[in-house]
Amino acid sequence: MKQPMKIMAVNKAVQTRENNNSTTLPLGFNSLCNISFSSQLKNRRLVENIELEQYWKMSDEKKEKYRNFYNDFLSNKNLDKAELFDKTFPCLPLRSDKTMEDFIKISQKYLKYKDQPIICLGRSPKWFLNTAYWTKDGLKDYKFVAFSNYWFYPDNKEGIKKLQNQAPTNEEEMAYRKYLDRIGANPQTIVETMQKEGKKTVITDYICSGKGACSFLDILSRYADELGILEEFSKSIQIVGIGSIEYMEMLNPHAESIPYPRVPMPPLLKPYEDNIKQEFYNMNYILFDEMLLNRNVNECRSTYYPHNAWTVYRPDVFKTGMINDMDTVRKVLSVLDDEKHITSFTPVMKDYRNIINFRILDYLDSKNMLREKEV
């Protein structure tokens, strides 16, 4: 059995100067101000942006070209593997049809919630939700909520323990609330949706210990409590986890049994725990390894957003590269303790993401499962 991967290799950095001030930037960038739009980076791309609409427009010849490109992607002489997020895990996922079938099965679990609002918490469930959206009669939509890191930890005595020195400051928490307000993922919106439509909001994440989702619920519960709607909030959400029991067995080889993981409730929600339904969908280790442990897959989808960055930038703006002043760039680099989290914008990582998109879309199409064009 393959052992859990040890993460990460250190990326190189280059220096750029603007107005005689030096700023360290990740390999492959002239400036974070134009990471999405620089002509230099565009010219280094090997794969065009491929989403559902682009796939619909592809000719049979182009599809065949990309099938061959997918098969030979990592051996392409024009591909700079040094720009992968994690060079220790250079493989592409979903090469096996069996693993692809398992991936589709987990993705289709989300169709059970297609008529409910869905919050994708962080990057981990995003591939599965995208695939559920691309499927015939699939999801209408889902809401991505950027969230990274945690400040709750498992505790043998209390079940879960908050490390206050790792928690957001009041200023950071207020900034994150504004972000939740702006994207419509705040407690007030969640409660109003339940009251008006009778639909609980699904919060979905990769669950092992549940400490990340617990930390997110800590923010929402504190917000709901201040609004005076904490109990109503608890009745308006449910949790859907994905993960791998086989992986957890590897982490705990001496345990007699491994229970299906659950998200522990933060203190304010603990009295209302029975109101919050939790479900968990298990995947085999091979699929888990390729789609969740593989940091290249994880990091190329969206934005790293730990709480020390909440006062610095808006994730919906940052991930498109539209930071337009170097002072903000320097702030971003100063709070992201690991520069590698910005390398998801390298040309190679964009190519990596889009060739996986193609593989999933093409497989769905081959099985007559792809969402049809809207007339």
What is the maximum span of the chain, computed from C-alpha positions, in angstroms?
Answer: 62
Structure tokens, 369: 């499962």
State the pairing for strand pair 13-18/21-26: antiparallel
Does pLDDT of 313 surpass 90?
Answer: no
Query: In 10 A of CB 202, how many CB atoms?
Result: 20
Does pLDDT of 103 surpass 70?
Answer: yes
The confidence score (pLDDT) of residue 284 equals 97
Boundaries of every domain in the chain:
1-87+318-358, 94-293
- Residues facing residue 159 across a β-bridge: 155
Q: How much is the average pLDDT of 145-170?
A: 89
121-154 burial, b if ≥16 CB within 10 A, otherwise e? bbbbbbbbbbbbbbbeebbeebebbbbbbbbbee
Residue type for 1, please? M
Question: 257-270, pLDDT tens digit by residue?
Answer: 888 899 999 999 99
Nearest to 27 by CA among 339, 240, 247, 314: 339
Structure tokens, 307: 């709480």
Does pLDDT of 330 surpass 70?
Answer: yes
Q: pTM for the whole thing?
A: 0.86
Q: How much is the average pLDDT of 107-119?
A: 97
Q: How much is the average pLDDT of 3-17?
A: 30
Nearest to 190 by CA among 106, 275, 131: 275
> What are the DSSP calls for 24-56, one per residue?
EEETT-S-GGGTTT-HHHHHT-SS----HHHHH
Q: How much is the average pLDDT of 121-127?
A: 93
